[in-house]
């Protein structure tokens, strides 16, 4: 049995009930087999892959918090510090009832390679809690965030581990957590990214993941003699990534016609009204049912359905495994040309295989949504030098980084005889840098 398959079997046996983590490990390890195979015995002796798939540290803690009626609730908090070979752990915090250790491990594992692809010195980590922020008051959110940080602060720091936002964690939550960290440590430090602009946040961080997704999509289409201009685009999600993906797609001349949340989805034949979407989601924190009040020509549908809308480009921006084989078949039947992942691991392995077999250009999350973490690293740089860059400076760097990632993954795919296979290209290019750093630092 090959070394890669041995390690995959062991991960599945030793981490039961963590299907998302298995899915991520299987994809990455199979992709990097061409890198491992020529020197398999050496890597096996050094347990390189075992060290890669086992987090350096995983922290699990109790988070008690008090609701507005004085009742006490208890949730579970996690921080997985996966790999620090190329820099301090870096990765978001997710607040969603579906969060468990397996989800955080899958996200942390993916983060290692994504962060490597940015070309910036950041290692991989992820965290969060099964707390559900939906329907909670600002006071309840604050109570949760403060109690979450009152344990997490022991393990993070500007040079050790720098968390950021993810699903359910935006500027409001980062603000409450930062305030608590500062109080407990007596330190005004760049320990979280995604901070408010008044206290160390970076311009363009809010927009970065969505904008970056469109920059890399544009780069790929340009490389193929095409562009976003004039394309009909289908987007899922209506959160941070989806909103700014829609905004940049419009700026590049594309027409995004859908968005969704966990209860339903919107089809707007005239193109999504971003101002309305921002007001509904960022200001009112309301459901998408509101959208039709702003745009009488649009349609609201309960449940799932965006992947059945005819489009040239599809951008899944909600959550993991939200685009399965049947969705991929519907997209291909309707003539989709390109799929780029704004969310983490939104497409199932069967869907990705179907896209590949049918000549659809597919940009995987660890390349396509790396703009968020890249800009977080730019926020860390600004905090370290106690300076603030303009929106355009940050945006220019983001655009450069996304272009560079595209060229890197394209080249890696070519080098290993898999031209156009960006899944393999991203996994290989991300892994090679981490592997080199791990080997250089010895068995630690």
* Site for ligand NDP, rule CB under 6 A: 165-168, 209, 237-242, 261-263, 317-319, 342-344, 369, 372
β-partners of residue 65 are 73
CB 168, min distance to ligand NDP, A: 5
* In the block, residue with structure tokens 């106690």: 386
**Residue 271 to residue 275: CA distance in whole angstroms:** 12
First to last CA, the chain: 27
The smaller minimum CB distance to ligand NDP, of residues 77 and 168, is found at 168
Q: How distant is the alpha carbon of residue 257 from its chain centre? A: 22
Please enumerate, as own/partner, the contacts of 403-407 that have beta carbons within 8 Å and a separation of 24 or more: 403/215, 403/216, 403/219, 404/119, 405/117, 405/118, 405/119, 405/216, 405/367, 405/370, 406/216, 406/219, 406/220, 406/223, 406/367, 407/219
The smaller minimum CB distance to ligand NDP, of residues 238 and 429, is found at 238
The smaller minimum CB distance to ligand NDP, of residues 127 and 237, is found at 237
* In the block, residue with structure tokens 């080098």: 415
CB 103, min distance to ligand NDP, A: 10
- List 90, 105, 114, 126, catalytic entry: 126
Question: Would residue 126 show up in a list of annotated catalytic residues for this protein?
Answer: yes
Query: 3-class SS at 359?
Result: coil
CB 262, min distance to ligand NDP, A: 3
The smaller minimum CB distance to ligand NDP, of residues 81 and 118, is found at 118
The smaller minimum CB distance to ligand NDP, of residues 11 and 174, is found at 174
Task: Name the nearest CA neighbour of 400 among 198, 211, 236.
Answer: 211
CB 16, min distance to ligand NDP, A: 22
**Residue 87 to residue 81: CA distance in whole angstroms:** 11
289's tokens: 């049912």
CB 54, min distance to ligand NDP, A: 22
The smaller minimum CB distance to ligand NDP, of residues 43 and 92, is found at 92
CB 220, min distance to ligand NDP, A: 18
**Residue 118 to residue 67: CA distance in whole angstroms:** 40
According to the 3-state scheme, what is the secondary structure of 25-59? Answer: HHHHHHHCHHHHHHHHHHHHHCCHHHHHHCCCEEE
Laid out side by side, the sheet with 255-256 consists of 255-256, 232-236, 313-316, 338-340, 361-363
CB 92, min distance to ligand NDP, A: 6
Q: How distant is the alpha carbon of residue 116 from its chain centre? A: 14
Which residue's Cβ lies closest to ligand NDP?
Answer: 239
Query: 3-class SS at 422?
Result: helix
Give catalytic residue positions.
126
């Amino acid at each position: 049995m090959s070394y890669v398959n041995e390690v995959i079997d062991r991960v599945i046996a030793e981490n039961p009930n963590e299907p998302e983590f298995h899915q991520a490990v299987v994809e990455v390890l199979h992709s990097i087999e061409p890198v491992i195979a020529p020197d398999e015995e050496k890597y096996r002796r050094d347990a390189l892959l075992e060290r890669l798939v086992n987090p350096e540290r995983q922290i699990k803690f109790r988070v008690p918090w008090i609701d507005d009626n004085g009742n006490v609730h208890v949730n579970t908090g996690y921080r997985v510090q996966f790999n620090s070979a190329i820099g301090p752990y870096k990765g978001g915090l997710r607040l969603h009832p579906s969060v468990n250790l397996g989800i955080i491990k899958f996200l942390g594992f993916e983060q290692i390679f994504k962060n490597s692809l940015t070309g910036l010195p950041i290692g991989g980590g992820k965290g969060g809690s099964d707390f559900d922020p939906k329907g909670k008051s600002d006071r309840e959110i604050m109570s949760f965030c403060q109690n979450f940080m009152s344990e997490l602060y022991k393990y993070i720091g500007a040079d050790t581990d720098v968390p950021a936002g993810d699903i359910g964690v935006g500027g409001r939550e980062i603000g409450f957590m930062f305030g608590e960290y500062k109080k407990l440590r007596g330190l005004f430090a760049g320990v979280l990214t995604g901070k408010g602009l008044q206290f160390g946040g970076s311009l363009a961080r809010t927009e970065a993941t969505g904008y970056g997704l469109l920059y890399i999509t544009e780069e790929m289409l340009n490389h193929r003699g095409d562009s976003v201009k004039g394309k009909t685009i289908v987007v899922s999600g209506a959160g941070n990534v989806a909103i700014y993906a829609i905004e940049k797609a419009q700026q590049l001349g594309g027409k995004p016609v859908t968005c969704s949340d966990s209860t339903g989805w919107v089809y707007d034949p005239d193109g999504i009204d971003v101002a309305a979407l921002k007001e509904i989601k960022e200001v009112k924190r309301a459901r998408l049912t509101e959208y039709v009040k702003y745009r009488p020509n649009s349609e609201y549908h309960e449940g799932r359905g965006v992947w059945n809308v005819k489009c040239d480009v599809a951008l899944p921006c909600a959550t993991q495994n939200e685009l399965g084989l049947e969705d991929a078949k519907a997209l291909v039947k309707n003539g989709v040309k390109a799929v780029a992942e704004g969310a983490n691991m939104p497409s199932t392995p069967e869907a990705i295989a179907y896209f590949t077999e049918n000549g659809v250009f597919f940009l995987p999350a660890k390349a396509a949504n790396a703009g968020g973490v890249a800009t977080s690293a730019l926020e860390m740089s600004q905090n370290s030098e106690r300076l603030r860059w303009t929106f355009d400076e940050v945006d220019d760097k983001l655009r450069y980084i996304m272009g560079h990632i595209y060229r890197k993954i394209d080249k890696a795919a070519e080098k290993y005889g898999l031209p156009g296979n960006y899944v393999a290209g991203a996994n290989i290019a991300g892994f090679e840098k981490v592997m080199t750093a791990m080997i250089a630092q010895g068995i630690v």
